Amino acid sequence: MLGSTKIYGCLADPIDHVKAPTIFSSIFKEKNIDAVMIPIHVNKDNLENVINTLKKIKNFQGMTVTIPHKTSIAKLCDYLEQDAEFTQSVNWIKFDKDRKLIANNFDGQGFVNGFLAQNFLIKNKNVCIFGAGGAAVSIACSLANQNIKSLKIINRNVQKANELMKKVKVINKNLSVEVDKYENNFSLYDCNIIINATSLGLHKNDKLPFDVSKTSPDAVIADIIMQPLETDLLKKALDLGRSVHYGKYMIESQIDLAGHFLDLW
C-alpha cells in the first residue's frame, strides 16, 4: 500500500458476513488499481459521526453499505441518484471533489441481473419477498419492472410493507400486489420465486424466515445473505429438492455498476 492508495469501505453491523472487501480488493489487484476496500463495523448510534469523520479523510473515496444502514444513511447524503432517491435506500456512496456525499442503489438491479444470469426466469412469475427494509425495497421495485405476474410482501411491520407496496404500484400500477403480516398463516404454495430479504440467517440459531415445506416443489428459494453462503434456509430448500439462488450473486452482479459509479473504470 502506497501513500497514493485510495481507500474504499464496506459499512455494516454485523461485519462478519460481508464479501465486498475481499471481492473488490482482489479486483483492484487484478486490474492494477491503486486502491483497497476495508470492512468498517459501525453501529447505528455512531453512523452519523463516522460519516462526518470519513468526509475529512481525503483519500477515502467511497463505500458500499449493507445491513442495517441502507435507509438510515440515505438521510446523511447530499445527493441521491435516481434509484436511491426513489427507494430512499442506499448501498453505494462516493465523495465528490468537494467531499459531498453522492449515493445510489444497485441492489435491485444486482439481484435481477444475478438471478437471470443463473438461468432462472422472472417474467410472468408469482414472487414473494420476505422483508420491507432497504434491500427488499430495491429488489421489489426492480422486480416490478420485470413483467412479473404478482408480488406478495411479507413483513413483521405491516406499515412498512404497505409503504413498499405503494412504491411498487408507482412503478407498475397494474401489478397484483398483496401484503401479509409475518405472523399470519400465509400461503406460499402458489409462489414461483420466494426471496428472503431479511437478516434472518446471518446468525447461528436464527429461525428460518418461512417453512420451506409449504412451498411448491418447483419454487426457487432465494437468499440475499452472502455469509454463510449456504444459509440454513437454503440448506433446507436443497434437502427438499428445491432450486436455490445464493446471495453472493447480488453483489457479484453489481461489480461493473459499482465500478462505473465510483469512477474506477
Active site residue 70: yes
Which residue of the set 55, 56, 70, 149 is catalytic? Answer: 70
Q: Residue 3 and residue 36: Cα distance in Å, rounded?
A: 12
Contact call for residues 226 and 248 (beta carbons, < 8 A): yes
Q: What grid cell was written down for 95?
A: 465523495
The C-alpha cell at 23 is 471481492
Residue 46 DSSP symbol: G
Strand, coil or helix: 93: strand
Burial class (CB in 10 A: 0-12, 13-18, 19+), 255: middle
Which of 92-126 are b and which e, b meaning 16 or more Cβ less than 10 Å from the residue's Cβ?
A: bbbbeeeeebbbbbbbbbbbbbbbeeeeeebeebb
Active-site residue list = 70
